Amino acid sequence: MKKTIVLVLVSAILLTMVSVSMAGKKMDDIIKKGELVVGVTGTQPPLNVADKNGMIIGFDADIAKLIASNMGVKIKFSSMPFSELLPALKAGKVDMIISSMTMTLKRNLDVVFVGPYYISGKGILTKAENIDVLQRTEGLNNPDFKVAALKNSTSQSFVEQAAPKAGVTATKSYDEAIELLLQDKVNAVVADYPYCAFTAFRYKDKGLIAGQSKFTVEPLGIAIHEDALLINWLSNFLNMLEASGQLTNISKKWFQDGSWIKDLP
């Protein structure tokens, strides 16, 4: 009986030691290599986008740079289509994702989320001639209406659920979706509200307009590997970022001041 109790206690101690040693493994890996690899699309302004020189800028990018700076490591952005971000994280190709990704319960079954660092929502982008159709009772839910949305995004899920009669085209990037809209191959684009507002402003000479209200509430979070120390560190970081007023300043820079648009291709 005593031997059994001793074995159980030894096993429990060993498991605790393993858990403690694994708790900060991901954080330790990042510090040791001296680099934080962040997954982004690079095509979701004003959250993240590549400028004229191919550098990633935007709200997401500023937060990622501050994370790396406070960790004492270099920042490296790894750009890819939105649908490839989560597979890349799970495969260990990136350390975290900061790319306008909504913290859905479904995604949370596969990866850990810290946040939210911003509350977004779904918006709509279209041409002026399509407004009459959208204002009808059926709105988007019209078999003659074609909508583009980012592949594997909450935008695609929203259109499929809220407007099952509409034709949905899943695109690899926002740029592809906008091109389809400009060529009249789709009637509208459903995307994150900040992106819709920004794009309508940027392409107002081409007749693009954005809806004035959000369809949904979308909490954006940082997707990471399961690591207790990294989760705790990021949670404290976001709390300090908000308490210091830095988060508000970054928001104003990217959502209210349009001076950065001149740096885009």
Q: May I ask the CATH architecture of the domain 2-120+219-263?
A: 3-Layer(aba) Sandwich (3.40)
How deeply is 141 buried, as exposed, middle or buried, from its count of CB atoms within 10 A (0-12, 13-18, 19+)?
middle
Q: What is the pLDDT of residue 11?
A: 42
Over residues 65-104, the pLDDT tens digits come to 999 999 999 999 999 999 999 999 999 999 999 999 999 9
pLDDT category at 135 given cuts 50, 70, 90 is low
User: Which of 3-17, 192-206, 234-248 has the highest mean predicted lDDT (pLDDT)?
Assistant: 234-248
84-93 own/partner pairs: CB under 8 Å, 24+ apart: 85/39, 85/40, 85/41, 85/223, 86/110, 86/111, 86/223, 88/39, 89/39, 89/223, 89/224, 89/225, 92/225, 93/37, 93/39
pLDDT score for 183? 96
The reported pLDDT for the residue numbered 238 is: 98
Assigned superfamily of 122-210: Periplasmic binding protein-like II (3.40.190.10)
pLDDT tier at 23, thresholds 50, 70, 90: low
What is the pTM for the complete model shown?
0.85
Domain residue limits, the chain: 2-120+219-263, 122-210
**Each residue of 203-245: pLDDT tens digit?**
889 999 998 788 899 999 999 999 999 999 999 999 999 999 9
Q: Would the CATH topology of 2-120+219-263 be identical to that of 122-210?
A: yes
Highest mean pLDDT among 1-5, 143-147, 238-242: 238-242
